[in-house]
Structure 1
Amino acid sequence: MAVRITGFRSRAGQVRVRLFGGSPSTYFDKRQALVRIERPVPNTGTVTICIVAPKPGIYAVDVRHDENGNGKTDRSDGGGASGNPRISLMDMLFSRKPKPGAVQFTVRTGQTVVPVTVMYLSGGSFRPAAAD
């Protein structure tokens, strides 16, 4: 599958993509990631991270832009998930995950393209930055 990531606020730092499968209760639990890929954000161009799914099935991905490259999750980081669910500040404060139906996608034989828009904390909500 190809995770096509847009909406970067800057081209600094690292981008991390994780793939989750199986029970939706395991989605976004770092210990349950089937695949984790971390790369420097390229200076220009479309950011596409290719992942080999273990088998056809239902999956979810999440993306984190570690803009300052410190390897820690902090307020300057951007994030997103497959299906581009809306995430509120309250969702983050109370560690509420998006509903499975909002983030799941099906991988079949052949290539699956999964678009993800990175969102950043701005005021009291998460929203995309200006266009890449």
Structure 2
Amino acid sequence: MVRKVLMAAAITGAALLPVTASAAQILGSDAAACTSGGPAIRVTVDGLKDRTGELKLELFPANDADFLKDDRDLIKEGKFFRRVRLPTPASGPIVLCIRVPTPGPYALLFTHNRDGKNKFNLWQDGAGFPTNARLGR
């Protein structure tokens, strides 16, 4: 079952909040959406195994049929999909921002592509969801 995200989610913690001068720098191509008041989701990522490779945050429609569906298919069907990619920062807190079309439920997927290949490697790469449900390995 896909957990729905309503303008606040948790990879380890996420929210749509005003940014203060003491807050961590918001990263990613959609960072301006979080600093201007959105609509956007701000995600704090903790617990990376290392600081290699790249980070990717993807936003899907909040239903089981569309979650993890190929982005080309979603776009062709007129459904919302968004992806933010960036190199893993060498140090410091990791706070990502992803723009959403309107406030409402969405499904998020975060991946840490450690090996630099554009294919998820179950044995090397990391993934996170805004839920604590066990997904197997």
* Smaller-chain TM-score bracket: 0.5 to 0.7
1:78 aligned onto 2:109: no
C-alpha separation between the residues in 2 aligned to 1:14 and 1:82? 19
Consecutive unaligned residues of structure 1, counting only runs of 5 or more, are 89-124, 126-132
Q: Once the two structures are aligned, what percentage of the paired residues are identical? A: 28
1:65-109 Cα distance to aligned partner (Å, 9 max, x none): 111112221120111111243211xxxxxxxxxxxxxxxxxxxxx
Give the number of the structure whose residues are more often strand, by fraction.
1
Cα distance change of structure 1 residues 39 and 84 upon mapping to structure 2, 3 Å threshold: farther
In 1, are the aligned partners of 2:42 and 2:95 still within 8 Å (CA)? yes
RMSD value, Cα: 1.6
Q: Displacement of 1:12 after TM fit?
A: 0.3
Q: Displacement of 1:60 after TM fit?
A: 1.2
In structure 2, the partner of 1:40 is: 87
Count of aligned residue pairs for this structure pair:
89
Equivalences for residues 9-48 of structure 1 within 5 A: 9-31=49-71, 32=74, 34-48=81-95
- 1:15 aligned counterpart, secondary structure: strand
Cα distance change of structure 1 residues 84 and 24 upon mapping to structure 2, 3 Å threshold: same
In 1, are the aligned partners of 2:62 and 2:107 still within 8 Å (CA)? no
C-alpha separation between the residues in 1 aligned to 2:54 and 2:133? 22
In structure 2, the partner of 1:59 is: 106
Moved over 4 A (4+): none
C-alpha separation between the residues in 2 aligned to 1:62 and 1:8? 15
Consecutive unaligned residues of structure 2, counting only runs of 5 or more, are 1-40, 75-79
Equivalences for residues 50-129 of structure 1 within 5 A: 50-74=97-121, 75-88=123-136, 125=137
